[in-house]
Chain A
Amino acid sequence: MALDSKIPQGPLADKWTKHKNTIDLVNPANKRLIDVIVVGTGLAGGSAAATLAELGYNVKAFCFQDSPRRAHSIAAQGGINAAKNYQGDGDSTYRLFYDTVKGGDYRSREANVYRLAEVSANIIDQCVAQGVPFAREYGGLLDNRSFGGVLVSRTFYAAGQTGQQLLLGAYSAMNRQIGRGKIKMYNRHEMLDVVKVDGKARGIITRNLITGEIERHSAHAVVLGTGGYGNVFFLSTNAMGSNVTAAWKAHKRGAYFANPCYTQIHPTCIPVSGDHQSKLTLMSESLRNDGRIWVPKHKKDVEAIRAKSLRPTEIAEEDRDYYLERRYPAFGNLVPRDVASRAAKERCDAGYGVNATGEAVYLDFASAIQRYGKEQAYIKGMDVNDAALVKKLGQEVVKTKYGNLFQMYYKIVDEDPYETPMMIYPAVHYTMGGVWVDYNLMTTVPGLYCIGEANFSDHGANRLGASALMQGLADGYFVLPYTIGDYLSDDIRTGPISTDTKEFEEAEKSVKEKLDFFINNKGKHSVDYFHKRLGKIMWNKVGMSRNVKGLTEAISEIKALREQFWKEVSVPGTNEELNEELAKAGRVADFLELGELFAKDALVREESCGGHFREDSVELEGEQKGEALRNDEDFAYVAAWEYKGEPSDAVLHKEELEFKDIELKQRSYK
């Protein structure tokens, strides 16, 4: 099947308006006759469910957590971008569009990104109207902060809990519709298959995670807002339950999976402390507004630090290597995430890591505390030369900005970041790849839509900070509710979809067979045993730095691990009860397939772009020596994979990316 991105004709800035004006609508009376399933209740799924219900559709929403409010969008910390230009610093729709395309290393779809930038300002209006308590200035107006990879302040925030506040906003919009009976909410339900009837997505199969009951649910369209697949690495900043299963089942039913190798390794996470580690904790990128990243300049200091005979605060200014400021003077500590992560890895690989495992760098707030402290002392008419006073005042400012993050760090590491620099290291955070969708956010399966992190469309090969929240809400509040009407307008006479058909029966049967297999297998290893081994392969060979040898090995190792999994996995208990191991088994089975396709995608893409860094594709000379080298001539395309059985049989389809409004350039942050 040829890929049709359905990008509207006309000038970039007019595409979305024109498209909205020309697509079909469903009249309010007919919306009552149409059912829509939304899987996932994060920013994308939650906002879509609320808006679709408000428009009049009958919505069934599903989440595996015990409440829609717990979806992992809740953990997003730093902020949400919007081209409001409240700061008057030269921001505009075009500039947000430009920064996002450049930040994504020219591997995203221009028209989608422009639309995202266009609706961004509306998101802030919407959320404020919902009562989202964004940070404000003393004059009562909204405050902004700056994020990586841009030169303006366009990030709106609510301390370090922006995701929480936005998700609770979407959750409250859902609650209003649940209270009116327009959304039927299914908590603790996991989607285990998509059901297609006559080629169209017409329902899903779910498992009730408390009773184990397998249920059939039908609708005229199915929307997946099921998040990213970072947990294929086992250790990531994702929640424990975050999984690829919904997206992967869709893939197996005909939805192409795009750019699986584009993964964001976030530069500022708390380093791994031991083998018992179950997840990694992010320290928001917003910290890089005020924190300076460094390692010691001299190996002898590194050794002393590791031996705990020297404290970082005792190292003199001139003996520190602020390597981001050194390498990228224009952007300094605010380079994009992929660049910052690789730079940390480079220093640690060279032997300058500052913890016992040699995998940590410092994020230091001492100079910010000084700067803010002096400012406050000046404002309050106090003595700016009183060091203790300045420090105290400065710490207070830092506390109001990042208090919850500092507390989180203190509880995990048992060191006070107000007094000593934080230790951080990159960790898997976000996946730019995902289910392929057209301009209408529809997958290659008619009637099956995919929104938020679960799709591939807006971030190219690297996502800029504070753009995930923007995309999730843009898709859910402002894009999908329009575009889905165009498809559903053909369904006003269809009537309710029966679940009593052979398609539902077959899908249910295959789901049940797989669950029975896990229970009856009685192998010798737990699910986590396999998940951890998969994670090790992914991190070591498909992680921050990739090469042909490693990727080839990863492909065969993952395949072998998958075969072993199906022979030796052990799942205790029964089907008919709350059984977390059983749920995990199904998720890890899908990760074991995705992981191989991921490595294969990384092998095929013989260039470095964004989060995908190939050691055989770097600049060899000049000012940019050692930096990632893109190959626009051969790889300016979206790799959309079609399922054909084994991941090794997957067929590659290319969507060529055209850049009419932006000139493709070397992404320089120097």
Chain B
Amino acid sequence: MNLTLKIWRQKNANDKGKMVDYKISDVSPDMSFLEMLDVLNEQLINSGDEPVAFDHDCREGICGMCSLYINGEAHGPDRGVTTCQLHMRMFKDGDTIYIEPFRAKAFPVIKDLVVDRSAFDRIQHAGGFISVNTSGNTIDANAIPVNKQDADTAFEAATCIGCGACVASCKNSSAMLFVGAKVSQFALLPQGQVEATDRVLNMVKQMDEEGFGNCTNTGACEVECPKGISLENIARMNREYLKASFKG
């Protein structure tokens, strides 16, 4: 199929940036979206132009490196996938596709479609861990049984890949789904109880300092999350935060 691409080009963080049109032909429906961009870049390089910069790495939907706001949706029109898993069979011959970076105050653009998501890392530094030494001298793994349902729910929260689609989809650029997922994972497990108070207070404080907005329960994050992280995690974080505030 033949497509028109309208792609955000921005030389660097200080550049103003603009949408630029590209034509691409002979796109196979079996290509992934990023493979389609590979073909475009090969064309650009061969004609002496600068290829489009975009983040990507594992190309199997797990590393969380790829992003892209495609036709107004984080990771494009399909559900439950990252951009690297989005396939061109989701589009039709003759389509015009708008490709922009994830936009949020806390995610400044580095170049073209590449943004800086290190704010996420800093939130994790503030409390996304259990303070156990890595010496291996811990109790036996089966010493504390964990209710299967809690373990499974903790696992579901822990499958967050930190891509930032939740922030990009939110009209307030809120990171509550991302932070809620980490807080929930530990809140549901006995190992996480000891530091529960400090964890949620510190992570939320850092989240606010990074310039993410608040949650107004529109639920766009849950819809666009490639891993189906549930809104319940935000509710659980709010409960944890309230509990911690009383204690604190």
Contact = CB atoms under 8 A, between A and B. Distances in A.
Contact of A72 (B53, B55, B58, B159): B58
A127 B116 CA distance: 30
- Looking at B31, B81, B136, the one whose CB has the most chain A CB atoms below 10 A away is B136
Contact of B126 (A72, A179, A414): A179
Interface in B78-126: 78, 80-81, 85, 87, 89, 110-111, 114, 116-118, 120-121, 124-126
A127 B31 CA distance: 38
Contact of A274 (B30, B155, B192): B30
A172 B133 CA distance: 11
Interface of B is mostly: loop
Given A136-B151, A175-B128, A414-B89, A70 B134 contact: no
Interface in A489-529: 526, 528
Nearest to A474: B136
B189 interface: yes
Interface in A436-483: 477-478
Contacts of B72: none
B202 to A, nearest CB: 9
Interface magnitude class on chain B: 35 or more
Contact of B133 (A54, A240, A577): A54
Given A178-B125, A273-B30, A278-B35, A478 B85 contact: no
B138 to A, nearest CB: 4
A239 B142 contact: no
A575 interface: no
Contact of A578 (B111, B152, B161): B111
A119 B158 contact: no
Interface of B: 11-12, 28, 30-32, 34-36, 38-39, 42, 44-46, 48-51, 53, 55-65, 78, 80-81, 85, 87, 89, 110-111, 114, 116-118, 120-121, 124-126, 128-136, 138-142, 145-148, 151-152, 154-155, 158-159, 161-162, 185-186, 189, 191-192
A158 interface: yes
Contact of B151 (A69, A133, A572): A133
Q: Tell me which of B64, B120, B142, B161 has the highest count of chain A C-beta atoms within 10 A of its own C-beta.
A: B142
22 contacts: A66-B118, A70-B63, A74-B58, A74-B62, A75-B63, A119-B136, A131-B130, A133-B151, A137-B148, A161-B62, A164-B161, A175-B128, A210-B110, A240-B57, A277-B35, A278-B38, A281-B60, A411-B80, A411-B81, A411-B85, A572-B45, A578-B111
Given A176-B131, A210-B110, 4 more contacts: A130-B130, A135-B151, A175-B124, A412-B87
B59 A572 contact: no
B81 to A, nearest CB: 5
A51 B132 CA distance: 11
B51 A581 contact: yes
B53 A580 contact: yes
A168 interface: yes
B129 A172 contact: yes
A164 B136 contact: no
A50 B124 contact: no
B124 A140 contact: no
A578 B130 contact: no
